[in-house]
Structure 1
Amino acid sequence: MKSKVNRKKVDLRTSLHNLWRIVSVMWQVRPLAVTCWVIMLLLISAIPAMQIWLQKVSIDAISTSVAYTANLLPVLVLVASMYGLNIINSILSETSEYLFNITKEDTNFRLQRSILRKSVCIPYHYYENARFYDELSMVSQALSRSGAEIIRSAFTSFSNVVSLITVVVMLSIVHWSLPLLLISSTLPGIIILLIAKKKRYRLAVATTQQGREIDYTFRLMLSKHGAKEIRIFQLGDILIERWAHLFVNVRNKVLKQYAKEGRGRIVGVLILQLSALGVAIMLVMQINKDVLTLGDYVALMSAVVIVQGTMGSIGANIGQVLEMSSFINHLYQYLALPEVSKSSGELEFPKHYEQLEVSGLHFTYPNTELKVLSDISFSVKRGETIAIVGENGAGKTTLMNCLLGLYSPSQGNIYIDKEPLQSFSTDSYLTHVSAVFQQFVQYNYSIHDNVAFGAMHKHLSQDETLDALKAVGLTEMVYRMSEGMGTRLGSEFNGGVELSGGQWQRIAIARAAIRNAEILILDEPTSALDPLAELEIFRTFQKLAAGRTAFMVSHRLGPARLADRILVLKDGALVEQGNHDELIGLNGEYKAMFQAQAEWYQEDSVYDVVG
């Protein structure tokens, strides 16, 4: 992961290739708009030279007219032409800006959609790596800067070069050294700018981790998720101080960089102005010798300003290209990450399989030596309910992630009727598994969506999702809602209704159950509930799982008595298995855990609920 995501060096050839890929996307989304935009940029690039020429001949014509009382009509035509050219320039500029903006919006949409699609295809273990989140931060910056903007900077640079060539030709007529003097005077400023852009990118990379923590702390302070604890534990001042310390630390580094850039720009401007002064003196001397007219002087001084401005624009645009291309490279590195194969096998998952077997399964997180599971082996018949218990960190959730196909075992395998899991089509297998996770999602969408998301391939009606909610005891809640199944849940948006923790959990169970999957997993979604409430949730789940294979994961042992068999994990190993009475008789890990939790599950109160 480290080598693939955050340390990969990108050469110039790769950067140019990525820029061409952005151009390809722009062409794909708006070919006509891109064509017209480029043509307009070229037309705009020719206007400065035309303006300089019109300015020269207009001033000369006015001087002649005043001196000799000549006909004013040609002068007025020239003056009108100057302003007409300005109008044309404005129309071309505004039209090209509009064409670029519509292309940019569609390009951004295409790139963002690619990122979202990629996010659901990359291996799940990437989300366990902090460096991956640094990379996501760089990708977000690439999207915020817009891939189309980098192409605009590149094409604008080309347009500026065309303008520069036409103006340089005019200056060279006076003296061949003028354009050389002006262009060379801008080079120090451009070099300083390019160095600054490179340093700014390096600073962005170096402060990515701190920047993410600043953003995390800021969002935490504003979120409902953290509001209670921040108030109860009086964390406000502490978190603000932590945020401020990080912010000031990053800000100081940024300001230091800005100061360096400012000093560099001052040097560049000083050189520019001294060279412009030298040119002005040279032109005045030429006028004094009657080599140049007043019109020549005004036009050529305008050309001086245009050359220096154009060179500055070229430098700024090249700097933008270099800076933004670094972020675009991160975007395409992300898009190049390996994906989970959706066609790993050719077999279709059997709807009525007989046995699921886990054999010699080991799991170690990629690029680490942390072994989470060691030599796990067991078999489950179709229709069995299996409880998986163990202390926190025993490996229960990791085992479930392997069963769900989210993790690939380091060793060993999982078999369905003696066929390895890799033999089945990924889509086929996922269609036949479902789960309620410990940190299940509370979708801030409608009640119907919250349930239907469990089986979108079925195109469920509201009556069907309502039946699923009836199975988990939430019908009355729906009837109390003003918009019924169309009621938006959560407090994120206007009109949303917040639910209790137990109601959210029942909706999550309905979402998992409506899939009608062959394998159901309940992975500690009730850890925040009291034991009695937890048992009630497990009983609901067990009823919905009737006739299907179900895994119920918990570090509490009360719900385990609902299962046909109990698997006990400790330190990533399967240490015991059997039913409740068998495990108590072993006087081992399960019995020790049960005795430690006995006060939660008294025979007269809790077990009656179970039975």
Structure 2
Amino acid sequence: MKGKIRLFRKALGLVWDSAPGWATANILISVLQSILPLVLIWLIKLLIDGITGAAQSGSGAAGIVPLAIAVVVVYFLDEICTDSGSYISSNQSVKLESYMYNLLHSKAVRLDLINFEHPGYYDCLSRASSEAPWRPNNILNNIVSMFRGLLSLTLMAGLLLTLHWSVAILLVVVNIPGIWLRLHYADILYHFQREQTPEARKSAYFNWLLTGDRPSREIRLFNLGNYFISLFKESFRKQKEEELRILRKRTLIELISALVKASAILVLLLVVARRTISGELSLGQMTMFLLAFRQGMTYIKVFLSSLAGLYEDGLYIGDTFEFLDLKERVIANPPVTIPDELKSEIRVEGISFTYPGNDYASINKVSFEIKKGEIIALVGPNGAGKSTLIRLLTRLYDPDTGSVKWDGSDIRNMDPEAYRKFFSVVFQDFMLYNLPAGENIRMGNIETADADLKIRKAAKVSGVHELIDNLPRGYNTTIGTLFDDSRELSWGEWQKIALARALFREAPVLILDEPSSSLDADTEYEIFSRFREITEGRTSILITHRFTNVSLADRIIVMEHGSITETGSHRELMRKKGKYWEMYRKQSGRFES
């Protein structure tokens, strides 16, 4: 219970931080809404008694006009409160949703990249994303509704006590089965849905395969539509079949609970009718007690439902804080040092790294150094660990053992964001931003002022300037297929954009992971024939399977099974006749044949 109270306090803190003014207005309007119905019932009682008295005495309707006006005014105020409450609640919800998305997004971009290697992380993110935008506000609404219901219920019960104490007791007792039912099945449904998170993500994945742009070509070419439709149906059925079974059992018990409540109303009707016929109650009193009991049933339902809702919220809000409380481990460890431009070398000393869930090291006791201004080529078969090594160099991951040193300082003592500013990378799986072409390039360094000339310069070097310049709106043309008035590019053209983005960054260390895999021969020749000119003043690391481009490197590092097997220049490695010689001969022999 203490844990749930702590979560409630944190959630209410988020609600208050997101919109303190709207939260206050919501509370005030809710209190007003709890009082007005009782006033209305009392005025209706007076009005009916006034009408009855006027009819019996023949005194006319003049005396009841003020009461009628009072009923209408209170009714109008109640309607205003309802509409205003809806407007206030909507505004508060929008503010909170924006605030919570900001928290989620800020947390997601700060978290260590290694989280994306854990299936459990995606489960956690999925649960948080579905609950965070609205669940804290739901906690506030349930607390407000609970106290509003309790206040209204107390007032109505006090009124019913004037009829008989047993009526007030009856009002409470007949609703106990309903609250037990809600609490019991809330727990069952929560744990069921939590267990089903991986299956829900699987359904979402199959849905994306059937509706997304990227898989659409293979889906049609290989006629996979019906296959993935069947996989989606099966996954969806697994989730919903058991949930519907649980809901069916709950509904049957709810019907029994509703029958108990209906029986209570029948008992009250008989008691009130008998006492009215005997003259103990006036028509106004009869109406008042019937309305009070009916409203009391409503308010106790509101109170108990809000209580049950809080119990549910306590279960689900934990998922949001589970995500928000995830710790970043790639941080500046003390003693903190501030990185400066590379003066001497990057030194890798005996680093090893294993991906979560793997029983083998992707990087195994790797050591080498990169001198300032040097061009290094990383080569090796697929799965050798080249791309993983780049993530360790740029501190997207931290090694399990060993260290990476920047001019003699361990990069684990540096702020990751400050350290990464010295790197510009074209990843093998580079991003396609559905944004204007110029903005795509500016993503390399969004802090750059007066970027237009630099954007065009980077585009010319990567060979994409002419293409962009001929688009309908030039560099302001949106590229991709998601939005109107956009233009799709070929994969090779996208790769030129990615290369321009890396060059625009003007970082002292440039890393290119298969930068020419989709370039046409002319563009590839143009870039690599001027590679030293393009990278002048920068330290460069080139990962490629095209050995025609490797020979321009000052030094080649050959990797296999996560380890370095050979190091040297192109000529030195060819003389050794080792792994590099073998791969080079196979590739060049293929071209010669």
Normalising by structure 1, we get a TM-score of 0.92
Change (3 A) 1:542 1:104: farther
Aligned counterpart in structure 2 of residue 131 of structure 1, from 120, 129, 143: 120
Q: Are 1:519 and 2:521 an aligned pair?
A: no
Deviation digits for residues 345-372 of structure 1 (CA, Å, limit 9, x no counterpart): 6433332411111011111235764422
Q: Are 1:401 and 2:364 an aligned pair?
A: no
Give yes or no for contact 1:386–1:566 (8 Å, CA) kept in 2. yes
- Which amino acid in structure 1 is aligned with residue 570 of structure 2? H
Take 1:320 and 1:163, find their aligned partners in 2: how far apart are those partners?
Answer: 18
Question: Match of 1:18?
Answer: 7
Question: Match of 1:4?
Answer: none
Take 2:292 and 2:530, find their aligned partners in 1: how far apart are those partners?
Answer: 82
Question: Match of 2:160?
Answer: 171
Question: Match of 2:400?
Answer: 410
Offset at 1:196? Answer: 2.0
Q: State how 1:208-247 maps to structure 2 within 5 Å.
A: 208-247=197-236
- Describe the SS at the equivalent of 2:362: strand
Give yes or no for contact 1:375–1:573 (8 Å, CA) kept in 2. yes
Q: Are 1:449 and 2:439 an aligned pair?
A: yes
Q: State how 1:280-295 maps to structure 2 within 5 Å.
A: 280-295=269-284
Take 2:514 and 2:96, find their aligned partners in 1: how far apart are those partners?
Answer: 42
Offset at 1:322? Answer: 2.6
Give yes or no for contact 1:567–1:574 (8 Å, CA) kept in 2. yes
Offset at 1:233? Answer: 0.5
Question: Match of 1:365?
Answer: 355
Deviation digits for residues 192-243 of structure 1 (CA, Å, limit 9, x no counterpart): 1222222222222121111111111112211221111011101011111111
Aligned counterpart in structure 2 of residue 94 of structure 1, from 83, 89, 92: 83
Q: Are 1:85 and 2:74 an aligned pair?
A: yes
Offset at 1:181? Answer: 1.0
Offset at 1:532? Answer: 8.4
Offset at 1:434? Answer: 1.2
Give yes or no for contact 1:26–1:104 (8 Å, CA) kept in 2. no
Question: Match of 2:490?
Answer: 500
Deviation digits for residues 125-164 of structure 1 (CA, Å, limit 9, x no counterpart): 0011111101111011113545313311221121111110
Q: Which moved more, 1:353-362 or 1:593-602?
A: 593-602
- Describe the SS at the equivalent of 1:225: coil
Offset at 1:286? Answer: 2.5
Aligned counterpart in structure 2 of residue 380 of structure 1, from 370, 375, 384: 370
- Describe the SS at the equivalent of 2:383: coil
Q: Are 1:565 and 2:544 an aligned pair?
A: no
Give yes or no for contact 1:358–1:376 (8 Å, CA) kept in 2. yes
Q: Which moved more, 1:28-37 or 1:307-316?
A: 28-37
Deviation digits for residues 251-293 of structure 1 (CA, Å, limit 9, x no counterpart): 2122212212211210110111111112222222322443222
Give yes or no for contact 2:478–2:487 (8 Å, CA) kept in 1. yes
Gaps of 5+ in 1: 1-11, 604-611
Take 2:303 and 2:244, find their aligned partners in 1: how far apart are those partners?
Answer: 25
Question: Match of 1:481?
Answer: 471
Deviation digits for residues 445-471 of structure 1 (CA, Å, limit 9, x no counterpart): 111111111111223422221111111
Give yes or no for contact 1:342–1:427 (8 Å, CA) kept in 2. no
Q: Which moved more, 1:427-436 or 1:584-593?
A: 584-593
- Which amino acid in structure 1 is aligned with residue 141 of structure 2? R
Change (3 A) 1:264 1:539: farther
Change (3 A) 1:125 1:503: same
Deviation digits for residues 89-133 of structure 1 (CA, Å, limit 9, x no counterpart): 011121122122212211111111111111111111001111110
Give yes or no for contact 2:42–2:288 (8 Å, CA) kept in 1. yes
Question: Match of 1:6?
Answer: none
Change (3 A) 1:597 1:25: same
- Which amino acid in structure 2 is aligned with residue 89 of structure 1? D
Q: State how 1:252-271 maps to structure 2 within 5 Å.
A: 252-271=241-260
Offset at 1:601? Answer: 4.3
Q: Are 1:162 and 2:146 an aligned pair?
A: no
Give yes or no for contact 2:15–2:136 (8 Å, CA) kept in 1. no
Gaps of 5+ in 2: none
Offset at 1:323? Answer: 2.4
Change (3 A) 1:503 1:65: same
Q: Which moved more, 1:195-204 or 1:60-69?
A: 195-204
Give yes or no for contact 2:12–2:139 (8 Å, CA) kept in 1. no
- Describe the SS at the equivalent of 1:338: coil
- Which amino acid in structure 1 is aligned with residue 188 of structure 2? K
Take 2:240 and 2:416, find their aligned partners in 1: how far apart are those partners?
Answer: 47
- Which amino acid in structure 2 is aligned with residue 504 of structure 1? W
Take 2:143 and 2:517, find their aligned partners in 1: how far apart are those partners?
Answer: 55
Question: Match of 1:419?
Answer: 409
Give yes or no for contact 1:381–1:549 (8 Å, CA) kept in 2. yes
Take 2:175 and 2:475, find their aligned partners in 1: how far apart are those partners?
Answer: 66
Aligned counterpart in structure 2 of residue 354 of structure 1, from 344, 367, 375: 344
- Describe the SS at the equivalent of 2:542: strand
Take 2:530 and 2:156, find their aligned partners in 1: how far apart are those partners?
Answer: 81
Offset at 1:538? Answer: 5.3
- Which amino acid in structure 2 is aligned with residue 196 of structure 1? Y
Take 1:598 and 1:467, find their aligned partners in 2: how far apart are those partners?
Answer: 34
Take 1:200 and 1:99, find their aligned partners in 2: how far apart are those partners?
Answer: 31
Take 2:413 and 2:528, find their aligned partners in 1: how far apart are those partners?
Answer: 32
Change (3 A) 1:274 1:535: farther
Take 1:133 and 1:557, find their aligned partners in 2: how far apart are those partners?
Answer: 38
Question: Match of 1:296?
Answer: 285
Take 1:542 and 1:135, find their aligned partners in 2: how far apart are those partners?
Answer: 46
Question: Match of 1:579?
Answer: 569
Take 2:52 and 2:511, find their aligned partners in 1: how far apart are those partners?
Answer: 91
- Which amino acid in structure 2 is aligned with residue 449 of structure 1? E
- Which amino acid in structure 1 is aligned with residue 6 of structure 2? H
Question: Match of 2:38?
Answer: 49
Take 2:589 and 2:305, find their aligned partners in 1: how far apart are those partners?
Answer: 71
Offset at 1:530? Answer: 8.0
Question: Match of 2:382?
Answer: 392
Question: Match of 2:130?
Answer: 141
Give yes or no for contact 2:495–2:518 (8 Å, CA) kept in 1. no
Take 1:112 and 1:205, find their aligned partners in 2: how far apart are those partners?
Answer: 21
Take 1:224 and 1:62, find their aligned partners in 2: how far apart are those partners?
Answer: 71
Aligned counterpart in structure 2 of residue 554 of structure 1, from 523, 544, 547: 544
- Describe the SS at the equivalent of 1:522: strand
Take 1:539 and 1:106, find their aligned partners in 2: how far apart are those partners?
Answer: 55
Give yes or no for contact 1:452–1:460 (8 Å, CA) kept in 2. no
Take 2:221 and 2:358, find their aligned partners in 1: how far apart are those partners?
Answer: 38
Question: Match of 2:172?
Answer: 183
Offset at 1:13? Answer: 2.7
Question: Match of 1:9?
Answer: none
Change (3 A) 1:221 1:460: farther
Q: Are 1:31 and 2:24 an aligned pair?
A: no
Give yes or no for contact 2:492–2:518 (8 Å, CA) kept in 1. no
Give yes or no for contact 1:145–1:324 (8 Å, CA) kept in 2. no
Give yes or no for contact 1:287–1:294 (8 Å, CA) kept in 2. yes
Take 1:539 and 1:336, find their aligned partners in 2: how far apart are those partners?
Answer: 50
Give yes or no for contact 1:519–1:549 (8 Å, CA) kept in 2. yes
